[in-house]
């Protein structure tokens, strides 16, 4: 645990008692603060009370008297589409609002660091897609190379639940826009922006607000090294703002699909080959084509980001390449569930938006595509680049009929539920086909989360193949 510093003997309110909220309350108490907690869910309140925390209805009058700060869980809106009522009360009372990420960065450095030979480092990873894979891949590379590494944030453990880092240790954090938007302290040593595409627009008041939330990690964080995906204009803008000259190698530009030139530091992939260029010459390369855990251009972009961060931390190209070859990938992200009669069954349930689904489609050919769910803003127009890879679509979800009408130029069958979609795709599939779940939509119309949707797909596949 990382004890929270700076609130000794003072009351700190915690709103939301999921994983991050309870973790924050424990870390505050460990650091000498007096947490007072609240959640609308009675079971969550009972659990916190069972751990000895004072439960206080933060929506009542006077709830913020003598409270030093309010710590908010990431799922609670603080500005758009409307601020949570408790947060608005904190504003009115002049109480600063923060989250567990802000507490983590403000409390990380410990006195024992003065005796370390190598000060611990923090790598923070954000972006629209690929955050989890990039984070897990970098953690894997570091661990395989003998570096002490911990994985936390949106993946792995809560940020305040990790152990204090060892001498030379690295903390790899996956951070969402919800987290970067609110954290009052953001001071990573290396920060990564994988890419940008529209997502969570209601929560940020539009795409500009969404980008601004991501940009805070760099503009306010002041990392020693910034790894920036420049395949979109937002990334190019950010890389330009952070650089003081073309030679400035504090910014590492990355790309999947285009050659990057210039005297600075670049890492890019073309035709399956990763290349690192620095000061106008190539200094490293990796053939990614046969690395099973990193299929497709979207995973090659993730590989660029992890490679660049690992190089910024002092690892050599051959160390990184060896670790890439043993990376198994993550569940629900281009995860091969089974192969039978020449047909592969691939679970990419994490493809919850159009951009990530399009990249999944572009990674395979002859696709029997299972898609649909709770559609996000913006429609399906940006899927066009991936649709030539699709043989037929099998549409699930409560909006299946509407979703099917929006898929131009592809035969679509309305299946509604996963079991029916898998059965029909299996019946139609021929050797060389890929049955791919890449929904291009949220899961909440039928499932609690994308993980449950992916698990259902896997269970249906194995049952159809007689392996369940």
> Would you say 348 and 332 are in contact if contact means Cβ atoms under 8 Å apart?
yes
Place of tokens 């939509």: 441
Distance CA 129, CA 367 (A): 21
End-to-end CA distance of the chain: 39
Phi, psi of 322 (to 5 degrees): -60, -40
Residues 416, 446: contact at Cβ < 8 Å? no
- In a 3-state reduction of DSSP, which class is residue 227? strand
Helices of type H across 265-394: 296-312, 317-324, 354-362
SS3 173: strand
- Tokens representing 338 are 């089974």
Rounded distance between C-alpha atoms, residue 260 and residue 265, angstroms: 9
Distance CA 183, CA 181 (A): 6
Q: Is 352 annotated as a binding residue?
A: no
Angle of CA points 91, 92, 94, to nearest 5°: 65
Q: Is 129 annotated as a binding residue?
A: yes
- Is 132 annotated as belonging to a binding site? yes
CA-closest candidate to residue 308, choices 269, 335, 340: 269
Alpha helices in 169-327 (DSSP H): 177-182, 201-204, 207-219, 233-242, 296-312, 317-324
Is 21 annotated as ligand-binding? no
Contact 197, 93 (CB under 8 A): no
Cis check for the bond before 81: say yes or no (omega within 30 of 0): yes
> What length is written for the chain?
468
Contact 416, 373 (CB under 8 A): no
Q: Evaluate whether 214 touches 229 at the Cβ level (below 8 Å).
A: no
Listed residue (215, 454, 444, 435) closest to 342, CA to CA: 435
Q: Rounded distance, CA 217 to CA 212, Å?
A: 9
Q: How far apart are CA 394 and CA 96, in angstroms?
A: 49
Paired strand residues for 420? none
- 19 membership: H or E segment, kind and range: helix 19-30
Q: Which residues pair with 12 in a beta bridge?
A: 35, 69
Indicate the annotated binding residues: 127-133
Indicate the annotated binding residues for ATP: 127-133
């Amino acid at each position: 645990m990382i004890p929270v510093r700076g609130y000794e003997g003072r009351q700190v309110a915690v709103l939301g008692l999921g994983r991050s909220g309870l973790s924050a309350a424990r870390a505050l108490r460990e650091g000498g603060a007096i947490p007072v907690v609240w959640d609308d869910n009675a079971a969550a309140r009972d659990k916190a009370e069972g751990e000895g925390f004072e439960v206080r209805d933060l929506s009542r009058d006077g709830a913020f008297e003598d409270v030093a700060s309010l710590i908010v869980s990431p799922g609670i809106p603080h500005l758009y589409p409307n601020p949570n009522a408790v947060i608005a009360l904190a504003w009115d009372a002049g109480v600063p609002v923060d989250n567990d990420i802000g507490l983590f960065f403000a409390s990380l450095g410990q006195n024992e660091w003065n005796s370390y030979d190598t000060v611990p480092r923090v790598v923070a990873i954000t972006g629209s897609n690929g955050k989890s894979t990039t984070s897990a891949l970098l953690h894997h590379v570091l661990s395989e190379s003998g570096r002490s590494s911990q994985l936390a944030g949106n993946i792995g453990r809560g940020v305040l639940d990790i152990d204090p880092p060892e001498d030379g240790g690295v903390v790899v954090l996956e951070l969402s826009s919800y987290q970067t938007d609110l954290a009052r302290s953001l001071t990573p040593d290396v920060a990564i922006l994988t890419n940008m595409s529209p997502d969570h627009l209601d929560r940020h008041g539009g795409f500009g607000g969404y980008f601004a939330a991501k940009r805070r990690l760099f503009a306010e964080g002041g990392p020693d090294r910034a790894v920036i995906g420049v395949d979109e204009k937002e990334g190019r803008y950010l890389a330009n703002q952070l650089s003081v000259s073309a030679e400035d190698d504090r910014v590492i530009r990355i790309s999947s699909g285009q050659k990057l030139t210039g005297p600075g530091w670049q890492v890019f992939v073309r035709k399956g080959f990763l290349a690192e260029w620095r000061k106008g010459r190539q200094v490293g390369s990796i053939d990614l084509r046969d690395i099973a855990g990193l299929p497709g251009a979207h995973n090659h972009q993730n590989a660029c980001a992890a490679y660049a961060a690992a190089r910024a931390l002092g690892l050599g190209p051959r160390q990184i390449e060896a670790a890439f070859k043993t990376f198994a990938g993550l569940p629900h992200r281009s995860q091969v569930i089974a192969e039978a009669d020449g047909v592969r069954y691939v679970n990419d349930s994490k493809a919850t938006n159009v951009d990530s689904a399009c990249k999944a489609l572009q990674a395979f050919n002859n696709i029997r595509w299972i898609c649909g769910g709770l559609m996000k803003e913006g429609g399906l127009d940006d899927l066009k680049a991936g649709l030539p890879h699709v043989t037929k679509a099998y549409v699930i979800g409560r909006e299946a009929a509407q979703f099917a009408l929006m898929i131009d130029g592809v035969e679509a069958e309305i299946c509604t539920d996963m079991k029916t979609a898998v059965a029909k795709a299996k019946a139609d599939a021929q050797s060389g086909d890929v049955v791919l779940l890449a929904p291009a939509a949220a899961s909440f119309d039928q499932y609690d989360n994308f993980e449950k949707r992916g698990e259902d797909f896997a269970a249906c596949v194995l049952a159809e193949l007689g392996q369940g």
